[in-house]
Chains A and B, each alone.
Chain A
Amino acid sequence: QKEVEQDPGPLSVPEGAIVSLNCTYSNSAFQYFMWYRQYSRKGPELLMYTYSSGNKEDGRFTAQVDKSSKYISLFIRDSQPSDSATYLCAMSGGATNKLIFGTGTLLAVQP
Chain B
Amino acid sequence: DTGVSQNPRHKITKRGQNVTFRCDPISEHNRLYWYRQTLGQGPEFLTYFQNEAQLEKSRLLSDRFSAERPKGSFSTLEIQRTEQGDSAMYLCASSPGAQDEQYFGPGTRLTVT
Contacts and interface: CB of A to CB of B under 8 A. Distances in A.
Q: How large, as a class, is the contact surface on chain B?
A: 20 to 34
Q: How large, as a class, is the contact surface on chain A?
A: 20 to 34
Contact of B43 (A41, A97, A101): A101
B21 interface: no
24 contacts: A6-B42, A32-B99, A34-B101, A41-B89, A43-B6, A43-B106, A46-B102, A49-B101, A88-B43, A90-B42, A96-B48, A96-B55, A97-B98, A98-B33, A98-B48, A99-B35, A99-B93, A100-B45, A101-B42, A101-B43, A102-B42, A103-B40, A104-B41, A104-B42
Interface of B: 4, 6, 31, 33, 35, 40-45, 48, 55-56, 89, 91, 93, 95, 98-99, 101-107, 109
